[in-house]
Amino acid sequence: MEKATFAGGCFWCMVSPFEELPGIHGIISGYMGGSVENPTYEQVLTGETGHLEVVQITYDADIFPYEKLLELYWPQIDPTDSIGQGNDRKSQYRAVILYHTEEQRELAEKSKAELNQSGRFLQPVVTAIEAASIFYPAEEYHQNFHRKNPDYYKESRIYSGRDEVIKKFWSE
């Protein structure tokens, strides 16, 4: 099993695209980066801890290779936005690929370069690619939030503007 970690706005919205796929064995919402050990959601929400809201995926690379994870990741975000996603504008909502191995870094850089050269965007792809650091699982009520609180999740997703971003850049 390998780990992949992605930040792309609110972590609630980053779970469902990756779940229930062959080779995906787990998805945990959490926090990465930052200066506070074992941060709470309330601390991260201030935007002052330096943490990102992330999803960490456990996967079998023989069944679902990292390149396929990247192919699923990009259409979940606006890769031209360096300060957040949609209406989520604090630093914890930045889009970042957090690599665990040199091979993941190389594949992420290649994927980003291909996306930049695709002509899909009028602005450059600025999604950061950074080394993964200590992962802190989010509180239990954040895990599988979209299933536990479907109505609130739908409202939050609408407010976030994520679906408009996806439609604008990825409707093809």
pLDDT tens-digit map of 105-138 = 999 999 999 999 999 999 999 999 999 999 999 9
Query: What local confidence, expressed as pLDDT, does residue 168 receive?
Result: 86
Contact (CB, 8 A) for 12 and 150: no
CATH code for the domain of 17: 3.30.1060.10
* Residue ranges making up the domain that contains 46: 2-170
The first and second tokens of residue 172, run together, are: 């093809």
* The 24-33 sheet, strands edge to edge: 128-131, 95-99, 2-8, 51-59, 24-33, 135-137
Q: Which residues of the chain have pLDDT under 70?
A: 172
Active site includes 10?
yes
Query: What local confidence, expressed as pLDDT, does residue 23 receive?
Result: 97
The pairing of beta strand 128-131 with beta strand 95-99 = parallel
Query: What local confidence, expressed as pLDDT, does residue 87 receive?
Result: 85
- As a whole number of angstroms, the distance between CA 170 and CA 172 comes to 5
- As a whole number of angstroms, the distance between CA 78 and CA 76 comes to 7
pTM, full prediction:
0.95
Find the catalytic residue in 7, 10, 54, 165: 10
Structural domains of the chain, count: 1
